[in-house]
Amino acid sequence: MKRLYTTLLATILLVSLANAQSVGKLDFKTDGYTFKKFGHAPKKIFLQHFNVNYQMVMISYAQAKGGVTYGSASSTLALGLDGIDEARLQAMTDKYYADFVAKLEAAGYSIMTAAEVKQSEYFADAEEIPGGTPTMDAIARGYLTSSPTGFVTLDVKNSIFNLLGEKESKELGGLIVARVNLTVPFAESQETNGGLVGGVAKIVAKADLRLSPSESVPTKSDFKKPTIIETNVSFMYKESLKWQATYQGKLKKAIEIEDVLDEKKKYKATSVGESGFRHPNKAWLPSNYSENAVPIEIDAEKYYKGVDEAISTYLNAAVDGFIEKSGS
């Protein structure tokens, strides 16, 4: 019997190892102030948005100034994931949202509906954006953004001085405002420019699937105003200068998701400026960049499993941190 038990245990271990996904450790921190004052707020939360950004196309751009021999040059490289199902990603987003709400409800909180929030004059004219349909380029170029099925985002234009929802919380009479952003890029790039002899714009990229703290995504060919998207869970409470608190659950480093893509393979693009300081080469991909992307083959099931493990690990830590810090 003992030998049979040992054999069975070994078999279970082998099966577990075979199905295990290689995901890096969580490097996490909490940030904010006067956490305990969350206890002064009503046990209601306005979840302003819940976005999961899955990168489907990586775009990188390099630009080199002209030199002695050649004019300036620009180069663009686009890589695309092949074989990922949007419906599956939406189902994953719905799961993360359900887990997020369940944890907060277990701690005594209730999540306000969009209809409840729109009773406030401040939100009365806010645009309602229904979730459940993943949208390409909605927030950042190359990313498929998904919000939960049945969830309604109230689009309120925020100023740079309202980073965590201070205005919304105060307008709602001191209710807690929460925001969730999750960002999953699959590649990274490095650009190299030419020297004195003239413009050589070179890009070297490789696969790197991860849950990222922050990504800078190009929006125009000059790359002067990139879109910044991040992974962050925040809670904001502001009733007055005396009664306010904020919490953020942040990734200190990316959670690496390994054994899904070939991270050793390099992808390159090079452009050389024309001689005589003439017009630079134009390599920027316009609206059809997805069609021109170099496809990267992927084991879809490993992708889903790895992404799910990374996001679930982070999201649980972020919400648990809020519940602990606020004394809920």
The band of 90, judged by pLDDT with boundaries at 50, 70 and 90, is: very high
Range with the lowest mean pLDDT among 98-102, 169-173, 294-298?
294-298
For residues 110 and 25, the model is more confident at 110
Q: Region 305-320: what's the mean pLDDT?
A: 97
The band of 198, judged by pLDDT with boundaries at 50, 70 and 90, is: low
Which H or E run includes 58? strand 57-64
| Cα 220 from chain centre | 20
pLDDT tops 80 at residue 225: no
pLDDT tops 50 at residue 19: no
pLDDT tops 70 at residue 222: no
Q: Residue 327 gets which letter from DSSP?
A: T
Can you give the pLDDT at residue 162?
A: 59
| 111: its two tokens | 């999540």
Share of the chain above pLDDT 90, in %: 53
Residue 40 in contact with residue 243, Cβ under 8 Å? yes
Average pLDDT, the chain: 83
pLDDT tops 50 at residue 282: no
- The pTM of the full predicted model, rounded to 2 decimals, is 0.85
Decide: helix, strand or coil at residue 33.
strand
Can you give the pLDDT at residue 287?
A: 60
Share of the chain above pLDDT 70, in %: 79
The band of 67, judged by pLDDT with boundaries at 50, 70 and 90, is: low
pLDDT tops 70 at residue 58: yes
Range with the lowest mean pLDDT among 18-32, 65-79, 192-206?
192-206
Can you give the pLDDT at residue 307?
A: 97
Which range of 54-68, 78-92, 114-128 scores highest in mean pLDDT? It is 78-92
pLDDT tops 60 at residue 242: yes
Exposure letters 140-158 (e unless 16+ CB within 10 A, then b): bbbbbbbbbeebbbbebee
**Nearest C-alpha neighbor of 220 from the set 79, 80, 74:** 74
Cα three-residue angle 309-165-243, rounded to 5 degrees: 110
Can you give the pLDDT at residue 70?
A: 64
Which range of 53-62, 142-151, 255-264 scores highest in mean pLDDT? It is 142-151
